[in-house]
């Protein structure tokens, strides 16, 4: 491609302790956790709402926050707070009340105990409340575009806002973009998709239908051959549909995303007609909501201080610097038409995420949280889910605040201090 040199001065929007890029489950929790520690925080989100895949992507329910056997909690902290705030709007079913298999789990039983169905509009309201109460400054409709580096650190992030290009500076930056957008521009080594093939997990365009005759569907849906995966939401006639796959979409490439999203729209029409024509109970159902962004399961993974392995997830390696615990299976969707499905390897009842996996190589004032942490692509299959992403975000925000308060580099913070603060804030580490 021909290159054009473009030099210009950009307005400095502000100076912060912490700038978080990406307002999805990990980013909101990172921003709230650091602001509650007294930090001046800017949260930058490219869409018009907070919540990431949970809202603009219409992904749900929240996957389990319990161990593999569904007996004891693994994720609490800000996740629990979000659930209890949603309860005030009657916009959630608490995980304790969701058994598997059931309509809430699309009749899947393996690893599907204790999920949390929620209403994505009320989640937007809850997240708005949490960031404003914590004093986080939020810029939606603003996209991280690039960064200016100095001595192996990010000095400024360059943001494409509706009013033009802006920049912001901070002591620490947290990349919660779901595509490691900041890391990739900050010279952090990254790789895409699976290590072997470079192919990502497939994408899916989520949608909701309302007006389902749930009693009729319940009798039918438990059959093994039922055609489309639909998850009951907190209201009795409304379902989220998570079904077809678009293969090989590169979410770090505009053309690939555009083409993938276009194919996915056609798949929504197909899935809807299968539901209406072939699924008892859906005869009068209508599409009421289609995600505004394509559901991207996997894009870049960063290289960091420690790469979590499949073996760590299978054995439940208990890292000394653990910052989160999870128990959901390695849910790696087939990367091509020819492959078979998910959950190929059994996980430990509880497995652990170390702080070092949030620390990228080559950039000393950046943390990464959410589905792009340093982890083998198969191993991240479970911990890419939203409760784990929230737990990682909470840990990253807390760590950034501790580093800023003590005037220490992110790599040198006292892990014991971080863990004690997380436990104080309701996080489970054992």
Ligand X SMILES: Cc1cc2nc3c(=O)[nH]c(=O)nc-3n(C[C@H](O)[C@H](O)[C@H](O)COP(=O)(O)OP(=O)(O)OC[C@H]3O[C@@H](n4cnc5c(N)ncnc54)[C@H](O)[C@@H]3O)c2cc1C
* Residue 24 contacts ligand X per CB under 6 A: yes
* Residue 179 contacts ligand X per CB under 6 A: yes
**φ, ψ (nearest 5 deg) of residue 399:** -65, -40
Residue 147 C-beta: closest distance to ligand X, Å: 11
CA atoms within 13 Å, Cβ hemisphere of 111: 21
Site string for ligand X, 231-270 (x = CB under 6 A): -----------x----------------------------
Q: Which of 27, 234, 327, 382 binds ligand X (CB under 6 A)?
A: 27
- Measured CA to CA, the distance from residue 397 to residue 174 in angstroms comes to 8
* Residue 106 contacts ligand X per CB under 6 A: no
Provide the token pair at 408. 């220490």
The Cβ of residue 125 has, within 10 Å, a number of other Cβ atoms equal to 16
* Residue 104 contacts ligand X per CB under 6 A: no
* Residue 26 contacts ligand X per CB under 6 A: yes
* Residue 144 contacts ligand X per CB under 6 A: yes
Provide the token pair at 305. 């201080």
DSSP state of 304: B
- Measured CA to CA, the distance from residue 221 to residue 23 in angstroms comes to 35
Interior/surface letters 173-188, b for 16+ CB within 10 angstroms, e for the rest: bbbbbbbbbbbbbbeb
Count residues near ligand X (CB under 6 A).
38
Residue 365 C-beta: closest distance to ligand X, Å: 18
Residue 329 C-beta: closest distance to ligand X, Å: 12
* Residue 323 contacts ligand X per CB under 6 A: no
* Residue 422 contacts ligand X per CB under 6 A: no
* Residue 25 contacts ligand X per CB under 6 A: yes
* Residue 418 contacts ligand X per CB under 6 A: no
Segment near ligand X (CB under 6 A); pick from 6-14, 66-74, 92-100, 174-182 = 174-182
Contacting ligand X within 72-101 (CB under 6 A): none
* Residue 395 contacts ligand X per CB under 6 A: no
Q: Which of 110, 143, 237, 318 binds ligand X (CB under 6 A)?
A: 143
* Residue 176 contacts ligand X per CB under 6 A: yes
For the chain, what is the largest distance between any 2 Cα atoms, rounded to a whole number of angstroms? 64
Provide the token pair at 418. 């971080």
* Residue 384 contacts ligand X per CB under 6 A: yes
* Residue 381 contacts ligand X per CB under 6 A: no
* Residue 22 contacts ligand X per CB under 6 A: yes
* Residue 312 contacts ligand X per CB under 6 A: no
- Measured CA to CA, the distance from residue 264 to residue 198 in angstroms comes to 21
- Angstrom distances, CA of residue 255 to CA of 249, 404, 408: 9, 39, 41
- Measured CA to CA, the distance from residue 100 to residue 115 in angstroms comes to 9
Site string for ligand X, 330-369 (x = CB under 6 A): ----------------------------------------
Residues 6 or more apart whose Cβ sits within 8 Å of residue 273: none
- Angstrom distances, CA of residue 128 to CA of 11, 120, 133, 289, 348: 26, 12, 9, 21, 35
Q: Which of 34, 47, 76, 378 binds ligand X (CB under 6 A)?
A: 47
Q: Which of 23, 70, 120, 281 binds ligand X (CB under 6 A)?
A: 23
Q: How many helices (H) and strands (E) does the chain have?
A: 10, 17
Residue 308's SS3 state is strand
Q: Which of 45, 137, 175, 208 binds ligand X (CB under 6 A)?
A: 45
Provide the token pair at 141. 């409709």
Q: Which of 20, 37, 52, 306 binds ligand X (CB under 6 A)?
A: 52
* Residue 206 contacts ligand X per CB under 6 A: yes
Q: Which of 323, 230, 344 is nearest to 285 (CA)?
A: 230
Residues 6 or more apart whose Cβ sits within 8 Å of residue 177: 21, 22, 27, 144, 372
Segment near ligand X (CB under 6 A); pick from 259-267, 269-277, 316-324, 383-391 = 383-391
Residues that bind ligand X (CB under 6 A): 21-27, 44-47, 52-54, 59-63, 143-144, 176-179, 181, 204, 206, 242, 295-297, 370-371, 384-386, 389
């Amino acid at each position: 491609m021909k290159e054009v040199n473009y030099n210009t001065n950009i307005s400095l929007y502000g100076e912060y302790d912490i700038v978080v890029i990406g307002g999805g489950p990990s980013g909101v929790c990172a921003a709230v956790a650091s602001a509650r520690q007294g930090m001046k925080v800017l949260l930058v989100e490219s869409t018009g709402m907070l919540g990431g895949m949970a809202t603009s992507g219409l992904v749900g329910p929240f996957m389990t926050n319990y161990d593999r056997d569904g007996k004891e909690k693994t994720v609490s902290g800000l996740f629990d707070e979000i659930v209890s705030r949603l309860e005030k709007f009657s916009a959630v079913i608490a995980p304790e009340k969701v058994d598997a298999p059931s309509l809430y789990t699309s009749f899947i039983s393996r690893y599907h105990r204790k999920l949390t169905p929620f209403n994505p509009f009320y989640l937007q309201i809850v997240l708005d409340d949490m960031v404003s109460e914590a004093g986080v400054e939020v810029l939606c409709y603003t996209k991280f575009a690039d960064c200016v580096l100095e001595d192996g650190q990010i000095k400024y992030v360059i943001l494409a806002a509706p009013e033009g290009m802006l920049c912001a500076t901070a002591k620490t930056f947290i990349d919660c973009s779901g595509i490691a957008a900041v890391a990739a521009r900050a010279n952090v080594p990254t790789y895409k998709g699976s290590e072997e093939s470079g192919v990502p997990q497939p994408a899916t365009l989520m949608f909701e239908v309302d007006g389902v005759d749930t009693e009729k569907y319940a009798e039918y849906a438990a059959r093994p051959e039922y055609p489309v995966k639909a998850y009951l939401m907190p209201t009795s006639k409304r379902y989220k549909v998570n079904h077809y796959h678009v293969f090989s979409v590169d979410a770090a490439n505009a053309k690939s995303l555009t083409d993938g999203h276009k194919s996915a729209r056609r798949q929504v029409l197909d899935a809807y007609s299968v539901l209406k024509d072939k699924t008892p109970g859906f005869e009068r159902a209508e599409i009421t909501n289609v995600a505004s962004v394509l559901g991207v399961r996997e894009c870049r993974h960063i290289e960091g201080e420690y790469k979590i392995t499949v073996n760590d997830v299978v054995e439940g390696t208990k890292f000394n610097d653990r910052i989160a615990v999870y128990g959901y299976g390695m849910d790696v969707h087939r990367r091509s038409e020819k492959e078979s499905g998910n959950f190929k390897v059994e996980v430990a009842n509880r497995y652990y995420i170390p702080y070092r996996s949030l620390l990228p190589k080559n950039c000393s004032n950046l943390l990464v949280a959410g589905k792009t942490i340093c982890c083998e692509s198969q191993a991240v299959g479970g911990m890419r889910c939203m409760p784990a992403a929230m737990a990682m975000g909470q840990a990253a925000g807390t760590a950034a605040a501790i580093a800023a308060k003590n005037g220490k580099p992110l790599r040198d913070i006292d892990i014991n201090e971080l863990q004690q603060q997380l436990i104080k804030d309701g996080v489970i580490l054992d």
